[in-house]
Structure 1
Amino acid sequence: MIYTLTANPSLDYIVRVKNLEIGETNRAYETEIFAGGKGFNVSSVLSALGYDSIASGFTAGFSGAELERLLEARSFKKDFIPCSGRTRINVKLKAQEETEINGTGIEIDDAQVEELFDHYKAIADGDVLILSGSIPGCLDKDFYARILDSQKDKDVLFIVDASGELLAKSLPCHPFLVKPNQAEIEELLGIKIHDDDELIAAGRKLQEAGASNVLISRGAKGAMLIGEDGAIYEAGCPQGKLVNSVGSGDSMVAGFVAGWIDTHSLEEAFVQGIYCGSATAFCADLAQKEDIDALKASSPITVCRTA
């Protein structure tokens, strides 16, 4: 079984105005509300690829109830842990430029953390555990590391898609895969990366700290994988029109995991990750299987592999 965790989910409130005037009353011409959460996105794309998963998350209040309602249509299994307060609401303001205002996370107490750990006692040898995104401010930055450490006596594949201290503290737990972008690596290591050689060297440092494989998303440039086999895999993105980049990184994680389960080939998993991430970027919402298959048929990917 594949398990995903969204510790800090949200309702994403999209507001579109033609011309934002600061300090004035502005009228939106369109608004939308979406269920936000990186782990939920991963589970959604895994479902599109034919893989079952159990998505855990903390929810609270009226906004948490709406989040759960919006997720009902998604076919993965849900494992929500109720908390006090309310699930955060993130405002995405789209005008001449895009502005985001992210709400504060919910309050999670020790009993609710223990409930999650109790749920994860069901994780067994051969399962996959994917920890995605940020955590509420009430939780310590070793939260992901504590979860991984609780599974250390099992043969579980760990995937961590996080940044900063949350990622740093997870590395000694030897995740199979981490997926930072270049900016996140620069922040984590306190450096500025100028070229591919420096990016590879920085990725190697994450391996030295404990990660087996480092998948670096590079936007329009494609992606790079620093593999546990000693090889560097590089590939550009398929051609297409960017529609919405939200969820593309999560789709890449889902594709990589599905590709690895299917083939146990790092290169095949890498390619599947790029197709899934790109397909979502070219869609208004998360990519479906037909979107991914169509992209594969129209845009072959060439991988450059170096030792």
Structure 2
Amino acid sequence: MIYTVTFNPALDYVVKADHFTLGAVNRADWEGIYCGGKGLNVSTVLAALELGSTALGFVAGFTGHEILERVKNLGFRSDFIQVEKGMSRINVKIKSQEETELNGMGPEIATEDLEILFHKLDCLSSGDVLILSGSIPKTIDDDIYERIMARLRGREIRIVVDATKDLLINVLPYEPFLIKPNNHELGEMFHVTLTTIEEIIEYAKRLQEMGAQNVLISMAGDGAVLITDKKEVYRMGVPKGTVKNSVGAGDSMVAGFLAGYLENGNYEHALRLGSAAGSATAFTEGLAGRDEIMKLYEELSKEGYR
């Protein structure tokens, strides 16, 4: 079974305006509301690829209730913990000449709420996959990923971590199955500016030396590179398309990679499906569906994209 954890899920209120002026009254030309949060995005794309998962995390207030209602129609199981104080976030995303975001704070998560989550995670067993992704709310200590991985260590659970900077660096001694920083985040972790693919591969291998089993680096329009637990290096280009959306592309890549890997254990296939899923979401207004993903998968299979 696959489990995703979203500590701070949200309702994403997305608006488009042909012209947006700070300090003035602006009117939307289009609007939509989606369930937000990196773990929820992964679960949604996994469902599109016909792979089941259970989404864990915390919700609160009327916005939390709306999240619970909406995930019922997204094709995966949810087992969220309802907390008493605060409310789940509303994130406002304005798309105009530039993209502007204003993200809410989220609810207050108490110690007893975390204990409930730990109890749920204690039920995971050998062969399960756990995806930890996204930022940590202010009411939770930054070592929460480490505590979870330490608790599950030795139980043959594949753990995927999609986080940045210290959140990612600090979990490497626990040997996560997969990590997925982008090339800019990779440079930030080592306080360097990476300008060539050779440099990116070099520093990705350093993360592997620090404990990660597989390192997947997304590079936007330059594709992706994967260093496997067998020390193999795979590169993948990107298909042709117009970028319409930057939200959820990385999460889609994680979902596609896992779906491909769990299908047959082939890393090249996993990287291709992950790249197709990430690109498909980038080329659509929301998270991509199966048809869009598989169409791009076929494009990436053509000569010249490997």
Aligned partner of residue 239 in structure 1, secondary structure: coil
Deviates more, 1:99-108 or 1:155-164: 99-108
Extract structure 1 runs of 4+ deviating beyond 4 A: 301-305
Distance in 1 separating the partners of 2:247 and 2:72:
20
Structure 2 counterparts to residues 7-86 of structure 1, below 5 A: 7-83=7-83, 84-86=85-87
Report the alpha carbon displacement of residue 296 of structure 1 after superposing the two structures with TM.
2.8
Report the alpha carbon displacement of residue 23 of structure 1 after superposing the two structures with TM.
2.1
Deviations 1:57-106 (Å, cap 9, x if unpaired)?
Answer: 21111111122222221110001111120111111112222111112232
The share of aligned pairs that are identical, in percent, is 46
Deviates more, 1:19-28 or 1:149-158: 19-28
Match of 2:220 in 1: 219
Distance in 1 separating the partners of 2:74 and 2:244:
21
Change (3 A) 1:244 1:62: same
Distance in 1 separating the partners of 2:78 and 2:304:
36
Distance in 1 separating the partners of 2:277 and 2:15:
27
Report the alpha carbon displacement of residue 29 of structure 1 after superposing the two structures with TM.
3.0
Structure 2 counterparts to residues 199-210 of structure 1, below 5 A: 199-210=200-211
Distance in 1 separating the partners of 2:19 and 2:286:
25
Aligned partner of residue 18 in structure 2, secondary structure: coil
Match of 1:259 in 2: 260
Distance in 2 separating the partners of 1:245 and 1:99:
12
Report the alpha carbon displacement of residue 237 of structure 1 after superposing the two structures with TM.
0.7
Structure 2 counterparts to residues 283-294 of structure 1, below 5 A: 283-294=284-295
Aligned partner of residue 214 in structure 1, secondary structure: strand
Deviations 1:111-164 (Å, cap 9, x if unpaired)?
Answer: 000100001111010110111111101111211111111111311111001111
Deviations 1:159-199 (Å, cap 9, x if unpaired)?
Answer: 00111111111111100100000111122221111211211
Letter of the structure 1 residue corresponding to residue 26 of structure 2: N
Letter of the structure 2 residue corresponding to residue 75 of structure 1: G
**Runs of at least 5 residues in structure 1 that lack an aligned partner in the other structure:** none
Distance in 1 separating the partners of 2:186 and 2:128:
28
Distance in 1 separating the partners of 2:150 and 2:56:
18
Using the size of structure 1 for normalisation, the TM-score is 0.94
Change (3 A) 1:303 1:136: farther
Distance in 2 separating the partners of 1:270 and 1:298:
14
Match of 2:114 in 1: 113
Contact 1:238–1:300 under 8 Å retained in 2: no
Match of 1:229 in 2: 230
Report the alpha carbon displacement of residue 303 of structure 1 after superposing the two structures with TM.
8.0
Match of 1:166 in 2: 167
Report the alpha carbon displacement of residue 302 of structure 1 after superposing the two structures with TM.
5.1
Match of 1:97 in 2: 98
Report the alpha carbon displacement of residue 233 of structure 1 after superposing the two structures with TM.
0.8
Distance in 2 separating the partners of 1:131 and 1:301:
33
Contact 1:235–1:303 under 8 Å retained in 2: no
Change (3 A) 1:122 1:302: farther
Letter of the structure 1 residue corresponding to residue 269 of structure 2: E
Distance in 1 separating the partners of 2:213 and 2:288:
28
Determine whether 1:274 maps to 2:259. Answer: no
Deviations 1:44-68 (Å, cap 9, x if unpaired)?
Answer: 1111212111110211111111222
**Runs of at least 5 residues in structure 2 that lack an aligned partner in the other structure:** none
Report the alpha carbon displacement of residue 38 of structure 1 after superposing the two structures with TM.
0.9
Report the alpha carbon displacement of residue 232 of structure 1 after superposing the two structures with TM.
1.4
Change (3 A) 1:102 1:238: same
Contact 1:215–1:224 under 8 Å retained in 2: yes
Structure 2 counterparts to residues 285-304 of structure 1, below 5 A: 285-301=286-302
Aligned pairs, number = 305
Deviates more, 1:240-249 or 1:30-39: 240-249
Report the alpha carbon displacement of residue 245 of structure 1 after superposing the two structures with TM.
2.7
Match of 2:153 in 1: 152
Change (3 A) 1:219 1:302: farther
